[in-house]
């Protein structure tokens, strides 16, 4: 109640709490369960805020609605399971309640869209997506890598769908929250879901990523919203910049086509001279060289690595096709 009242005093209008908290391993705090729903009802009555909870089963849905919960969200572990999402969709069918859907733990856009479609087919029209980042085995400064290209593609595929970023779960620590929040706003996403606690270090769940209500207000106040005001006329229009992007993309595509033509010629040479397709030493040289040259141009090494891994994969594919065709003809 202390946290709720402090948040309400800062102007927060929606209060969410993990009554049920799915965890990777047993023994971790998994929420207080149904006993906490009257607490949320009290938050709503005393502060006027809307309240929301995570639901993962039909039972969760029925209990939440019974206590007057205003909105629900489907967590990352649940959205990764079509059967679980369908169970929630069947339970929520016919209800008039907003549903927020977190991205699956793995970077699978189709799985995320599938979860959204299942809820929509249950007759729910008030739907938003929550971008909370994606699990990765690679070492990173993030708890869950944002992989911004995935929610950006979701926006392209479903333009009318609101996207809310969850900086807390992306960061895993409070130091990165402001930076991630600003990036989400720069990408024109529609909102933020940030974890707060009156005494963060004493939180029972994810204490390192919690911030006080006062700090939350500071982050919100510091955000720069780059949406132009009505009547503003930028000296360089967005359309002009996009046309430049289109021209550069055409050049990139032409260069990629030329590069693949050379890869096919290399495949023919390797076949004629009985050379294996994969040359590990050459691959390592290329990757190290391109990363270095990219860094000299101010390009992120991880970005360069992803690009050239994809280019190399396509080159190998084309050389394989050349080898197979030549063998078949022979």
- In order, the DSSP letters of 213-242 are HHHHHHHHHHPPP-PPPTT---SS-HHHHH
Widest Cα–Cα separation across the chain:
82
Task: Note the pTM of the prediction, 2 decimals.
Answer: 0.73
Q: Is the dihedral of CA 132, 4, 56, 82 positive or negative?
A: negative
Residue 133: the pLDDT is: 95
Residue 39: the pLDDT is: 96
Distance CA 59, CA 148 (A): 33
Residues whose CB is less than 8 angstroms from the CB of residue 115 and which lie 6 or more positions away in sequence, other chains included: 74, 79, 82, 85, 101, 104
* Strand, helix or coil for residue 15: strand
Residues 266-282 have pLDDT tens digits of 888 888 888 877 777 88
Q: What is the mean pLDDT of residues 289-313?
A: 92
Confidence of residue 29 (pLDDT cuts 50, 70, 90): confident
Residues 98-155 have pLDDT tens digits of 999 999 999 999 999 999 999 999 999 999 999 999 987 777 788 899 999 899 999 9
**What end-to-end distance do the CA atoms of the chain give, in Å?**
78
- Domains of the chain from N-terminus onward: 2-222 (3.20.20.70), 238-329 (1.20.59.10)
Q: How far from the centroid of its chain's Cα atoms is residue 11's Cα?
A: 26
Residues 149-183 have pLDDT tens digits of 899 999 989 999 999 999 999 999 999 999 999 99
Percentage of the chain with pLDDT > 70? Answer: 94
Closest Cα partner for 51 from 94, 8, 102? 8
Residues 190-243 have pLDDT tens digits of 999 999 999 999 988 888 999 999 999 999 999 998 765 555 555 556 777 787
Higher pLDDT, 83 or 246: 83
Mean pLDDT of the chain: 90
Residues whose CB is less than 8 angstroms from the CB of residue 131 and which lie 6 or more positions away in sequence, other chains included: 102, 103, 146, 150, 151, 163, 164, 165, 166, 170, 184, 189
Residue 328: the pLDDT is: 63
Distance CA 93, CA 84 (A): 14
């Amino acid at each position: 109640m202390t946290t709720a009242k402090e948040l309400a005093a800062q102007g927060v209008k929606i209060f969410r709490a993990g009554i049920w908290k799915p965890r990777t391993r047993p023994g971790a705090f998994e929420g207080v369960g149904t006993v906490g729903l009257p607490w949320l009802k009290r938050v709503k009555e005393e502060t006027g805020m809307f309240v929301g909870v995570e639901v993962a089963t039909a039972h969760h849905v029925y209990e939440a609605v019974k206590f007057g919960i205003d909105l629900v969200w489907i967590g990352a572990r649940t959205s990764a399971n079509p059967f679980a999402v369908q169970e929630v969709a069947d339970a929520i069918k016919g209800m008039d309640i907003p549903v927020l859907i977190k991205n699956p733990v793995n970077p699978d856009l189709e799985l995320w869209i599938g979860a959204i479609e299942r809820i929509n087919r249950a007759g729910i029209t008030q739907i938003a997506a929550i971008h909370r980042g994606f699990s990765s085995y690679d070492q990173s400064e993030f708890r869950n890598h944002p992989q911004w290209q995935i929610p950006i593609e979701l926006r392209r595929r479903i333009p009318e769908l609101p996207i809310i970023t969850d900086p807390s779960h992306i960061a895993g620590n409070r130091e990165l929250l402001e930076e991630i929040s600003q990036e989400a706003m720069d990408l024109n996403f529609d909102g933020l879901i940030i974890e707060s606690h009156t005494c963060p270090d004493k939180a029972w769940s994810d204490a390192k990523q919690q911030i006080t209500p006062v700090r939350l207000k500071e982050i919100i106040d510091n955000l720069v919203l780059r949406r132009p005001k009505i009547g503003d006329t930028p000296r360089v229009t967005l359309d002009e910049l996009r046309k430049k992007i289109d021209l550069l993309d055409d050049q990139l595509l032409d260069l990629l086509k030329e590069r693949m033509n050379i890869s096919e010629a290399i495949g023919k040479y390797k076949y004629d001279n009985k050379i294996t397709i994969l040359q590990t030493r050459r691959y390592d040289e290329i990757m190290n060289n391109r990363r270095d040259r990219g860094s000299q141009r101010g390009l992120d090494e991880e970005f360069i690595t992803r690009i050239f891994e994809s280019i190399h994969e396509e080159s190998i594919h084309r050389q394989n096709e050349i080898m197979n065709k030549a063998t078949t003809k022979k």
